[in-house]
Every structure is written in C-alpha cells, then in structure tokens.
Amino acid sequence: MTKTTIRRAGPPDAETLAQLGRTTFSQTFAHLYPPEDLEAFLTEAYSPDRIAAELADPDKAAWLAEWEGEAVGYAAAGPCGLAHAEVTPQCGELKRLYVLEGWKGEGVAKALMDVAMAWLEETRTGRLWLGVWSENWRAQRFYARLGFEKVGEHHFKVGRTLDRDFIYRRG
C-alpha cells in the first residue's frame, strides 16, 4: 500500500465520493442488474447532494483512500440501519466499503476498515454491523477474518431488483 493515504472525507469531497461510489459499485455489481435498475440505484445512492448531506451529518463519517492524490477506495459508517431484532440505537454499521479494481488485495480495504471500525468503536456503544451480498464470497471471508459473523438476511433493493444480502455482526 505504498503511497496510499487514508483521510476523513468532508462535504467538499462529495463529487469525488459520488463518482467513486458509482464506479466501484458498477465494477463490482453491474453484471447483476438490468441497466435501468442499475442506473436508478446509482442515481439515488450516489447523487452528490445525498453524499454531501451524509458527509455533513455528525453521526456519519466517510474516509477516502488516495494514491498520489487519486481516490482508489472509500468507506462510510454511521448508526446501524439494518433490520435485525438485536439492533439498538447504540449500534454502528459499516455502510459501504469499496475499492477500485486493480487495488483489491493491496491492503486498501483493510486500512479503510480499520479506520471505520475505530471510529465506530469510539462513537457507538453497541455492536457493529454490516450487510454483504450473499454471493460476495471474498468480502464475506474478509469480514469473517475481522470477527464478523452472519446473523441474518435481508433484501437490498437495486432499482426493481431485490438482492439477498447477509447481515453480519461483531461483538
């Protein structure tokens, strides 16, 4: 991970995070969805205005991984919004963790995960949660190595498509 830095993102980074989010989500999942479903999701989830609002929210945080000034990955965290009987208002959630193709396996995801988990542990008193696509085996192995375990399932909506996602918990 030489020359890669992790820094807390702020509202001025909204455009960068929106574009990086669109790109990394598409690189990872575009093959799963009809184009209209993918575009509807990307337009809603990664609008610069929505990202700017999230970055301005004191209960949420995001980090950028940069290599020589170029964004190569990001993480976002905040209060847990997953529908699970054990989730309390004190719980935290890793909302997003994405790295550009070509940077996977380089330690970027682990570095982002470390800062996001440290922030959640400092700001939340409950358990830590995340959702992961049921067929994303690589991510599931990664989260398991970090102490997360599967405790449920839910549907994740992309346009009109409903994905089967797993709910993972640590602590």
Q: Would you state the pLDDT for residue 105?
A: 80
Per cent of the chain over pLDDT 90 is 89
Q: Of all helices (H) and strands (E), which one includes residue 79?
A: strand 70-79
List the alpha helices (DSSP H) in 8-164.
Answer: 14-29, 35-45, 48-56, 108-123, 137-145
- Asked whether residue 156 is domain-assigned, the answer is no
- Asked whether residue 144 is domain-assigned, the answer is no
Q: What is the CA radius of gyration of the chain?
A: 15
Give the length of the chain: 171
- Number of domains the chain contains: 1
- Asked whether residue 31 is domain-assigned, the answer is yes
**Residue 86 binned pLDDT confidence (cut-offs 50, 70, 90):** very high
- Asked whether residue 154 is domain-assigned, the answer is no
Q: Would you state the pLDDT for residue 1?
A: 46
Sign of CA dihedral 90, 148, 41, 16: positive
- Asked whether residue 157 is domain-assigned, the answer is no
Averaged pLDDT for residues 139-155: 96
Averaged confidence pLDDT in the chain: 94
Rounded distance between C-alpha atoms, residue 109 and residue 72, angstroms = 10
Per cent of the chain over pLDDT 70 is 99
Domain hosting 99: range is 4-129
Q: Tokens 């440290």 — which residue?
A: 118
Chain centre distance of CA 163:
16
- Asked whether residue 145 is domain-assigned, the answer is no
- Asked whether residue 164 is domain-assigned, the answer is no
Query: What burial class does residue 40 get, using C-beta atoms within 10 Å of its C-beta: 0-12 exposed, 13-18 middle, 19+ buried?
Result: middle
Domain containing residue 20: CATH number = 3.40.630.30
DSSP 166: E
Q: Would you state the pLDDT for residue 103?
A: 86
Q: Would you state the pLDDT for residue 2?
A: 55
What is the C-alpha end-to-end distance of the chain, expressed in Å? 28
Residue pLDDT, tens place only, 30-85: 888 999 999 999 999 999 999 999 999 999 999 999 998 899 999 999 999 999 99
Structure token digits, residue 55: 């970055």
